[in-house]
Every structure is written in C-alpha cells, then in structure tokens.
Structure 1
Amino acid sequence: MRTDLKLKLTHTAAAAWSLLFLAACGGGGGADAPATAAGANEAPGTRAFALSAAPALPAGATPVPAVTYRCGNVTLGALRSGEIEVPAGQVCVLQGTRVEGNIKLGAGSVLDARDITIVGSLQADGAASVLVAGASSVTGSVQLVQGGAATLLGLRIAGNLQIEAHAGPVRAEALRTSGNVQVLGNLGGVTLVDNSTSGNLQCKDNLPAPQGSGNTAATLEDQCRSLAPAPTPAPGTPVNPPVAPVPPTTPTLPAPSLPAGVFTAGSNVVCRDLSLDATRYASVEVPAGARCELIGTQLTGNLELAPGASVKGVQAQINGSLNGDTPGPVQMDGGRIDGSVQLARAQATTLNGTRVGGSLQAVAGTGLLWLQGLTLTGDLQVLGNTGGAVLNNNRAGGNLQCKDNLPAPSGSGNVAANKEDQCRGL
C-alpha cells in the first residue's frame, strides 16, 4: 500500500476544502457560510446531514460532446459533458451535470459534485477533498486513494468502491453499491452509516477503526464485522471533525504489538518496527516509513521522526524534544517531554495527558490533530493544519495560538496566558 500523500493545495483548493470539510461535519452554519439541510432528492439516511453551499466559482465554458473537459476553478451546471479532468490543485463544482466518461482528479484537487450522473468511473489519486452528494450515480466504479477528506452521501455505484490511504476524515452514508466496498489504511477517521452493497464490505488497516451502523453486505469483513452504533455525543462535545479517535486514558502499560528491540542501555537507538521497554536510552531515531513503540521508555536525548515514520508512546519519559517533519501517525499517551514538540506536515497526531516542558508546535498537518489534557510550560501553536483539530482541557503557561487552520479547531476547557485567533473561543 502506498503511503506517500500527494496533497499540494493552492489557496483556492484549500479554501474550497474548508467548505467541504464543514459540510461533512454539519458545520458552516455561520453568517459567512449558511448550512442547508439535505434536500428531498437526497437519500433518506442523509436527512440529518447539513451541507454548506458549494464553493462560489464562475461558470465554465460549455462542454463539447466527446471532448475531455478540464474543470479547473469553475462550476458546471445541468449540462452534458464528456470525460472530465480536474487539474492538480484546482477546484471543480458540478451541479446536476451528466458526465459521459470518467472523472479524474489530480493531486491536491477538490471536487464538489451534487446530483450528478457519471456514465463511467470516478478516479482520484491524491485529491485534497471529494464530495459527492444528492441524487448522484456512477455506472462504473469509484476509486479514491491517498487523499485528504472524502464525503459520499446517497450515491449509487454500479461497480466497486475503494477508499484507501486518506489522511483526513472519510464519511460514506446511504450508499448503494453493486460491487465490493474496500476501506483500507485510512488515518483520519472513517464513518460508515446505512450503506448497502451486493458484494463484500472490507475494512482493514484503518487507524482508528471505522465507526458507524446499519451497513449491509454479502459479508462484513475485518474491522467492519461489527460496526457499533455511533455514540451519542454529550452536550458540548466537539463535532468538528465528525470522527475522532478517543485517546487512551489508562495509565497502565499495554503489551507491545511490535517485536521487542534489544539495545545497550544508554545508547543511541535506531528503532525500526520495534517496541522498546522501560529501559533508559540516549536518543531514539525512527527511520523513514518505520514504526516504533515506546512503552515506559526513558530517553536522555531526543525522539526524532523521519518522513513517514510513526511512533506510539505510552508513559514515555523524554528529557529532550520530539521532532518530526512529514511523519506518519504520532500518538503519545501520558508521560512527559522536557523539551519541545515540533511536528510539521504530520499525517495524524494524538497527544493525551502529556507534560511538555517547552512549547508545542503542530504545523501544516494533513490528518486529524487531537490534543487533550496537556500541560505545557511554553506556548501551544496550531498553525495551517488541514485535517481537523480538536483541543480539549489543555493548560499552557504561554500563549495558545491557532491560525490558518482549515477548518478552524474545535474544543473547550483550554487555559493559557492568551488565547489567540482561531482559539479565542476554546
């Protein structure tokens, strides 16, 4: 499975992705982007779902039959088009359009499609966001891989559906599929509600495991064998993003899930797909694409994450700092980091109940950012993230600053010397 995420957003695409994400969360109900309830044309299972208005883009040129149409930063209405290509980093809005051919999305592109007919397939590789809703149908298959957010509501698919390796939230509701449905290796949270397929429904390697209910298939496999009903959120529970992994809260040390690493105490360690126990080491480096567990591990130095590297720490004690540029999933439960935390372009980040002696900076993350119960001596900065952010009950001795995040962070109970920009109300 490929894990290199090709999310290269232009300003236009990023802004549109914000609108689509708010639509997926039932948000966008403010004065600037009024939400509208699902209309009569939408599937019954989507009526409780609110969609924001589509991005306001100029009308595109009239398509020429049987000629590929480049839909870049334009809107097409109830017209007949040949195959549609959405260029990398651009936005395409389709409303009532009939597409006689495939729709192909470039890296970092955005598609907002409502009440459309595709006489062909929908293919997206590295798209920033895909929304298909209303009375929409596809005579072929739908393949969405290595993307950001994906929301499919009430769609009819004659072929197969594949949703793989998404960094942002994925929601599929009231779909009717004749083929197989595969939901594989997604990291931003998956919700599956009231979907029906004549083939198999397979969910595998998603972190966290999918949530939902009311799904039927010839067989429900792996993580989808028993989809529990989504819990009813308590009053005041953040709804943005719609699916968030609940961080672990137990202080007990879990059993390792990776082979045990054996290294000399006090040494510098390269942790490649290994689990480290409660031994004291100097520093730990996790190579590109590798995984590492720190179960009660003590470090006198830093924890360094190479691109694509992922780490799970439980009650780890780090005298230095945690640093990562383009890491995979990062999860730290409890413990302490005496230095600072600097994570840039992370796929997904969960920090729960950790004490940070310096500052924490999470910048340009593409997946879900969940910060809960942290105690920091310095500043807490959440800047330019596009996968959704939730901040609950954190205490910062310095400032809490949230800026240029799409969508804006949600949460409550945070305390800081100053709460600035998007975090003023948290």
Structure 2
Amino acid sequence: MTFWQTDATHDPALASWVESAKGHRDFPIQNLPLGVFSPAGETPRIGVAIGDMILDLSACAKAGLLPDAASSAAGSDSLNAFMALPEGDRKALRAILSQMLADNDQRSAVEPHLHRAGTCTLHLPARIGDYTDFYVGIHHANNVGRQFRPDNPLLPNYKYVPIGYHGRASSIRASGVPLVRPTGQRKPPEADAPVVGPSVRLDYELELGVWIGQGNELGTPIPISEAANHIAGFCLLNDWSARDFQAWEYQPLGPFLAKNFHSTISPWVVTPEAMAPFRMAQPPRPEGDPAPLGYLSDDEDRSHGALAVTLEVFLSSAKMREAGMEPFRLSRGPASNMYWTVQQIVTHHASNGCNLQAGDLLGTGTISAPTRDGFGSLLELTSGGKEPISLPSGETRTFLEDGDEVTLRATAHAEGYVSIGFGECRAAVLPAR
C-alpha cells in the first residue's frame, strides 16, 4: 500500500497559471479532483476542477495531451473507466495534469480547454451500480442509541462488525438538485394506528462517500492490506432521513422508505492520490474495547488509515436567503470520529465474497463529534426534537422545513501542505407532492 506517500504534485510551493487556483478554498493545483460537467448547451464530459475553472479532459485527450490509458477513459460521459484504472495510471495522469497546469510553457496548449465552472452544470460523476451505507460514526451511534436505549446505546455487535445496509443507488443526485419532502407511513405516539402523509421529522446526515475503483471477482474477498487499491476517491454525502418513517418501519429489517427517497453527493471525486498528505493514524480504541478481528487488522491501516478532514454543516432558511443572510453553521468536527476506517469497510463489504465494481458508492454513515458542536444530524442536535435550534433570523428548528437548504463542506488539512476541499454538497427542501 502506498496510499499515504506524497510526491511533487503535493509540493506546497507549486502554483498554477490559473489565477483563481491560487489560495482557492477547495481546488488549488494540489487537489485536481475529477468530475463530469457540461458547458451550457453541450453534452456531458469528464473534467478536472482547478480554481474556479474546469479543464475539459476529453478535449485534452483529442489534443494528444494525456497518457494513453487516460485518453481512452476520457472519451466517456462518466468516470467509471477512470475509477477502474490501476493506481499507476491514475498517478501518471495526476502528474501530467499538475505539470500542464503549472508550466507556463504549456499554457497556450491547455488554456483553450478551460471552462468557467460557474457557467457549467455538474452531474453525477459515475454510473452508480450499487450503494451501501455504513454506520461507523461511533458518537452518532451512541447519541442515537441513547435516545432509544439509554442503558445500552450500542448493541454488542457494533465494536466487532462494521454495520451497514444496502441502499438505493437510483435516487442519488449531485449537489444542487432539490429534495422533495417524502410521503410515507408514520405512527404518531398518541395514535393507535399509522397515518400516511409528508414526513414531519426530515433530517440530514453528514457523511463521507467512498468511491470504489478496481472491483473484485464474485467469491474473492479483498484483504485489508489491499483495500486501499480498490478505492477511487472520496466525496461528501448527505443521506437524508425521514426519522418518523424510520422509527415505524425499521424493525426488523432496518431502513427502507425512510432513506431511499434522495441522497445528495458532492460532484467532484477527490482522488486517493490527492489525499495522500492527509492520512493519519487511526485514533486508539477506548480502553476495554475488543481489537478488530484478524481480517480487519493491519498495521499500515492503523498508522495511515484515518483522514485528516474537517466536516461542516450549514443551514439556510428561505427567510434567511430572502434577507441576504449568510448560512448558519450547525456543526463542525473531524472525520477521524470513525470507529472503522474506509479500508476496513471495503474489506468487510467484500469479506463474504461480495463483488464490488468500479463506480459503486459506500457511505460512512453519519459522522459526529463527541460534543454538541460537532453533531452530524438534527436528531442529535435537537435531542430528538425536544431542544429546538435558534437561527439568526429568529426562526427555530427541530427538523427541516420546506425551503430550508443544507450545505455540507469538507477541508483536508495537514501541517506543511496546502489544504484542499471537496466542493459543496447542497440541496434545498421542496414541499411534498
């Protein structure tokens, strides 16, 4: 595994001739995330974010600017072929892109293939064959479990098994696509029977998304020592939840209509190569917790498997936007609040021989900090709706109302390196139909 090794593309002194990339919050030249975009009136194609611009990789391939493996993948309208590339080919592409965007001598050949991001539409980056959501945020699991089982918030399997469930891939959408409030069954506490209607306890969930790269054959597990080789990148994921539907339907089989109506992702795929400087040691488990079983245990994963990423959630009501008010930050906390690493969830997913495929998406589950300022959902922030949040507009919230817009942001940071971001993961709530 070499997923933590840095090279010249991470040099903090490296600068791009693309002016907006210098000091950019999300997309300096040290990032170079991949995505799918379309200029106004044109068809979708693959691009790279650099500052406030997007470099058209399909056009670069036609101009002979890319290596052979990347040129062959660049003609598609999805990243699936890119995600399936071996690590060596991905690194070669990153090195060439970095050189092209830093070297003034190449500017005249590259600049015609740039588009202003603000005039383009961003799409889902891949054709998502399958989506699996995990539950690795231990503080979230404790907080939610405590509301239902005060004396036993975590079930016995949690510290042995990376808990997950198979979600719905067809309802995943890119940032900016509105969410329609779902309608379904819920059982009010005072009622004798369930009712059908719009969710009254609509919530967001702050998660990271993990894109699968090279897959595995059916029946062939992925060893923990090789799991990083099967990860193609990362994004932000808001796995919206109808808490009232979930409380009624989740026993005995778990989430269903409470979760599958819409999930929002940030459209740029931050590559494992870009994340190399931001790998950190997995936080030690609390004293008395069991060690991971052998198939989930690896020295390199313990020393480099966690991510030095800060996660944030912002809320903007319709009233706030009308008044020109800035979004209100609800929470901020580190992604290291994960009980299992992304490599462990990939290994566990394939441990029974399940075949993962390029373009599959895994969610970490809600990531919360141990303190209220880092809680990753309204269910936690409002103690199940008992403690409303006050907004700067004078409004209060227990759960989301129509017109509310939720934005997730993430920044990877490490001493001695330029910070990079994931772009925003944003959607507004529309009334139920």
Coarse TM-score class (shorter-chain normalised): under 0.3
Question: More helix per residue: 1 or 2?
Answer: 2
Greater RCO structure (CA 8 Å; 6+ sep): 2
TM-score (norm 2): 0.26
